[in-house]
Structures are given as structure tokens and as C-alpha cells.
Amino acid sequence: MDGGVTYSHANILNNSINFTEQTVSILFPTITSGVSNLTNCRLKFTFEGDYYFAFIDDVSIETAEAIDLTIEEADNSGNTVAADFKDLQVINNRHFSINQLVDHHFRYGANVKNKGYGKVIQSDNAMLNVKIQRNNLGNWLTVYQDSTSIDTLKTVGLGRPFIDTIKMKNWATIGDYRVIYTTSCNSDNNPSNDTLMQYFSLNDDQYFSKVDVTNGLPSFDRQIFPGGGPFKKFEFGSMFSFPNGQASNLALDSVSLIYYTPNNYTGANSIILKVNLYEFNDGINGATKNGFIDNSGLKNELKLIATGSKTLTNLNLGAYAGTSIQLTDTSTNTTKPLLKDNKYYFVSLELDAGLNSITDFNSTNMIWFGASTAKSYSMNYSGIDSNNVIPLPSTIFLTDAS
């Protein structure tokens, strides 16, 4: 209020925006408290960046709602699993087997924030609502719905996770589903940011995936490769759980993936790609049981139990291609390794310089991986007690050339 001598700051990137054209609301809940004359108030926009850019247009200043509930990440600037928590993903996978469902798949919850200037109290009757619908020939039929109370919630901040259990499970049959999260309140007059939706499909031990599937292969809309380099090795994967693997006589037939050849590719005419299946044992050999992979020193929380490789020859510049790789059990030397009950498994794709008879590699002489910017279904972390830790959903291992 001093004509621009000093400013209060708010980072737009910390408000759950996507890099597309949209309206962004920034709340200053107490900045004008006690000020009767706003004629000496100034507003300034500052851009900080090296490559990407943004345009700002149509700025409006208005009185904020007292209560404006929204579902968002706990902390957009954080780098932990808890900071990234937005919602508990029902079933924990985009595609999963009905035979592997256990209690922790039937939980719902979300991180709710209040972007209004007031405090949510019990008399506001604020609720987090969940509705599960089944696709019936193109029509979405509700098979389960429930609500959990949002008793108190402060303004701004990291929000609060509100979590509950799905009490009825007989709706879970083979088919395609969607989950709709909404927030509701007596005095929330901005419903535009109150809804979050996820999808999942249940099958009969046929296919497991953290992302959607198109034509039998993982869906993708971008390509990824680690920055920097050169590298000796790059390993990238996701964590899976098969609670009734042995009871269902479940075996891992193959791993499907998408790879990409960059336009400026200068590598060999063919690349050997490796796939690994590890058993994850949290806290083994004295390591701390914390849900994070620690494979340093003598800890070795990852035990390699199966591996496979394939020579990729379809390396067309600027093009994607899909493939599947079968795995062989490292102990029995048989294909289709059997899975155990109540175990966590880390499935990874590996690029190795030695395996391809080169000294090292970088982004121009090695293939990239196809990936999806759509929702990737990690295993639920928030709300799990310390004795039932859910492992970190995905991990990257890099070995520099040095």
C-alpha cells in the first residue's frame, strides 16, 4: 500500500496450473486488512525463466470468496511423495486384475485446500464426495457413492488430506470405471475447481498398467530422456503390487513399452533394450523401512528375479514404435516368472552402454522412452500407517560416464 516501494509475493506456479490458456486466481487473504484507502496500491508481474515464456492478459481485481474449496497437490514446489499428493487413487492402477484386489485398493481421499479468505468450520457442512461409475455401453452408471466430512480447514496453506474407506465392494466386477471427486459446502460459490476425475479398468489377470492403453500398448503423448550426460546406464521404472500373485498362479508374461528415436539420432542401426523385474524388500540388511528404494552399499533392497532383452531395429527418425519383451527367471532360467503373494515388484526399462558395445551415450545416440503426461497411477502413499508403507511409485537410476 506504499505505491510500489514494497511488495508481497505470490508464485503462480504454486497454484496447480497447467501450461495452457486458463484463468489463474491468486489470493492475498490479509494484505488489505485494515486499509481503508486502496488508491496507493500497485500490482506488479515478474517473470523468472530461461527458456519458457508466458503471456498475461485480462487482469481483474475482485473480492475473494470467503470459502473456495479445491482439490490440489499439497505443495507444488515440494519434491516428496507427500508433497505431490492430490488424491487417493481408487484401485491404485489404471488397469488391474480383479483377483488382486485387497483392502488398501478400496480407499478414497483427496487433499483439499481453501482458496477463500475465511476458515472452514463444522457448521459450513463442507464435504469431500466420491462417486464411482461403471461404463455400461457408453452410459456411466453410479455403483457407489459416499462422503466424508471436512470439519475444519484454514485459508491458503498446503491444505489437508481427507481420507476414508470404501465400505461396499460388491460393485467391483470386470469392466471400466471412473471416479469423480467433488467438494461441497454451504457457501462455496465457485464450483469450477471443485471436481477431479480418474479412470480405472478391472480385468481377469490379463494386464497391469499405471497408464492408459491404446491398441494394446501403453498410451503416450511425449518422449523422455534424462538431462545431462553422457551416461553409462539409465534405468527407469514403476512399482507394482500383486497381493494374490501366488494364490492366483500369476506369471509375468511380458512387459510392453513405447520407444522413440530422436530426429538428431546419430547412434547405431539397432539398440539392445533390457527389461528387469526386481523384488523390493523395504528395510532389508539394516536399511530404514521408509517406502523408498535404497540400493546403496550392502542394503540391496532390490533383488533381481527376472530379466529380458530385445534388439530394436525399427529406428525411424522422429518416430515412436511399440514392442513387448518377455522375461526369464534368473533362478530357474524359465520364461514367465511366477509372482509371490504380498510382494512389491519394481519393473524397469534399462539402457546400458556396455550392453550396446559403446563407451557411453547421450540423448542423440540412444533411443528415448515414450511417456504419458496424463495421470500416472502410483500406489497410494498418504494415509498409510508406518507399519504398512507403500513404496515410492517410480524411480530413475542414472550412472554417469565418469
For residue 123, give the CATH number of its domain.
2.60.40.10
Q: Return the minimum-mean-pLDDT range out of 23-32, 163-172, 211-220.
A: 23-32
> Rounded CA gap, 213 and 204, in Å?
16
- Which of 172, 203, 234 marks a domain boundary? 203
- Which of 203, 231, 250 marks a domain boundary? 203
- Do 196 and 258 have their domain in common? no
- Do 195 and 303 have their domain in common? no
250-264 confidence digits (pLDDT tens): 999 999 999 999 999
What is the per-residue pLDDT for 63? 79
CA 14 to chain centre: 17
* Residue 385 confidence class, pLDDT cut points 50, 70, 90: very low
> Rounded CA gap, 253 and 266, in Å?
33
- Do 128 and 194 have their domain in common? yes
Answer yes or no: is 284 within a domain.
Answer: yes
Answer yes or no: is 112 within a domain.
Answer: yes
More confident residue, 150 or 282: 150
- Do 164 and 122 have their domain in common? yes
What is the per-residue pLDDT for 83? 76
- Do 199 and 238 have their domain in common? no
Answer yes or no: is 51 within a domain.
Answer: no
Answer yes or no: is 109 within a domain.
Answer: yes
- Do 246 and 392 have their domain in common? yes
Q: What whole-number percentage of the chain has pLDDT above 90?
A: 51
3-class state of residue 305 by DSSP: strand
Q: Is the pLDDT reported for residue 24 higher than 80?
A: no
* Residue 138 confidence class, pLDDT cut points 50, 70, 90: very high
Beta carbons of 385 and 291 less than 8 angstroms apart = no
Give 331: exposed, middle or buried? Use CB within 10 Å, 0-12, 13-18, 19+: exposed
- Do 299 and 370 have their domain in common? yes
- Do 95 and 187 have their domain in common? yes
Q: Which residues lie across from 240 on neighbouring strands?
A: 345
CB atoms within 10 A of CB 344: 21
Average predicted confidence (pLDDT) for the chain: 86
Q: Total domain count for the chain?
A: 2
Cell of 172: 467391483
Domain that holds residue 288: 213-400
Answer yes or no: is 37 within a domain.
Answer: no
Answer yes or no: is 146 within a domain.
Answer: yes
Answer yes or no: is 182 within a domain.
Answer: yes
First to last CA, the chain: 54
Give the CA dihedral 34, 36, 39, 43, nearest 10 degrees: 30
**CA-closest candidate to residue 352, choices 275, 279, 282:** 275
Determine the residue type at 155. Answer: T
What is the per-residue pLDDT for 116? 85
* Residue 383 confidence class, pLDDT cut points 50, 70, 90: very low
CB atoms within 10 A of CB 17: 13
Beta carbons of 262 and 368 less than 8 angstroms apart = yes
- Which of 177, 203, 229 marks a domain boundary? 203
Q: What whole-number percentage of the chain has pLDDT above 70?
A: 89
- Do 255 and 395 have their domain in common? yes
Work out the average pLDDT over 46-66.
77
Work out the average pLDDT over 303-330.
96
Q: Is the pLDDT reported for residue 118 higher than 90?
A: no
SS3 content of the chain, % helix, strand, coil (to 5): 5, 35, 55
- Do 292 and 187 have their domain in common? no
- Do 88 and 234 have their domain in common? no
Cell of 196: 477431479
What is the per-residue pLDDT for 169? 95
Answer yes or no: is 171 within a domain.
Answer: yes
CB atoms within 10 A of CB 177: 21
Beta carbons of 122 and 198 less than 8 angstroms apart = no
Q: Return the minimum-mean-pLDDT range out of 6-20, 118-132, 139-153, 225-239.
A: 6-20
149-187 confidence digits (pLDDT tens): 999 998 878 899 898 999 999 999 999 999 999 999 998
What is the per-residue pLDDT for 202? 97
* Residue 319 confidence class, pLDDT cut points 50, 70, 90: very high
- Do 227 and 327 have their domain in common? yes
Work out the average pLDDT over 316-329.
96
Furthest-apart CA pair in the chain: how many Å?
Answer: 80
